[in-house]
Structure 1
Amino acid sequence: MELGITKEKAEELLDKYVTDPTIKLHMIESEAIMRALAERFYKEEEPAVAEAMADKWGIIGLLHDIDWEIVKDNPSEHCARAQEILKENGASEFLIETIISHAYGMEQIPAFKDRERNSKIQHSLVAAETLTGLIIASALMQPDKKLASVSLESLKKKFKSKNFAARCNRDLIAECEKAGISLDDFLALGLKALQNISGRLGL
């Protein structure tokens, strides 16, 4: 799995293309959940291999919305512009394909609406980046607005309540099962991943 972009380069691109703190935090949150997924999926590997995979999965999460500020007024171009940015900066075809895959099937993005995700990492990315919204919304509903106050049971209830954080597509979160992790385990993993970086998130 070659990405063509290091963690340092990914952070450089993040600072260059993302100035909105909310979007930047979303990308950092996605990085955290992707790292946690990789740590789970590769836990039987040698420690050095598992750590390398966690780094790579994290980079994918960190860069997945790299073009959002550029295209936010014309979302039909989302991920198409990301392709250009990533290619210009030496990204591998694998990295580009994985990142744009989170737009597959979206009617509002004509270039990708007829494409389907077909790998563990593609299903993981779309599930992870969507789950961040549900978890953060749950934290902001707490009296102290802290991630530490969000319980797994309450998160499960919020997942089932389609009116809560309605823009967080539950079907996309449930794609975790196509990646090989149950929904309950995924919710637990995602919640813990964000709680572990709560200080960085200010929550």
Structure 2
Amino acid sequence: MSRARGIRGRRPRLRFDGWIAGVGTSSGTRVVLGHWQRSPFGPFSDVMIERADGERLLLAPSRRTADFVSGTYSFDTVRVVPVDVSVADDTWTVTAGPLELRFTVGRRRPAGVLLRGVPGVLAARPAWAALTNGPAHLLPTHVRTRGRAGGLRREWYGVRDMRPVGVVSAVFEGLDLGVTAPVEPPVRFGFGSVPRKPTLTRVTTTVELGQ
């Protein structure tokens, strides 16, 4: 169920279940892919890009998703383009307008093995995100699992799995972005960044709407 059940007096909450991949490139461009298998908008994927000069760009598949994502996070440019994601074994291939991205994922490390055991029902609870927010502070690049977003919204990330990203190849507007690199400096779309080391993370995200 993508819409969290509300109680009297509580603001509406929307739930998204899927994957977030954060990767860096040697050109300085950082890319964050959201691949949402369940959401209030149905399955969809979107891409957030921060270029070396600091420009923040959103690539979203529809005006509706573009409006929601850009109302939650901050961007300099928003484009509505087809966003296609395919997964074959451990290779992810993404085509999103001017972006062509491919990356591989490796075997889970101990943290990923532990997180994989988190039940989906637990991950969907904001209390779980609040509990993991403390340990998340120990990760580089300002990782946060809860915080305030745009439009007076609040957001929680319930982490359920984590795998390292290996080889990355990316082309944006016909230019090769180079080889895999740390996500550095941190991306500035919202209240937190992604791990410094390129990572694929499974999350259940809850967004509480403002009024």
Same fold (TM over 0.5): no
Relative to the length of structure 2, the TM-score reads: 0.30
Relative to the length of structure 1, the TM-score reads: 0.31
User: RCO greater where, 1 or 2, for CA within 8 Å and sep 6 or more?
Assistant: 2
Higher helix share: 1
Higher strand share: 2
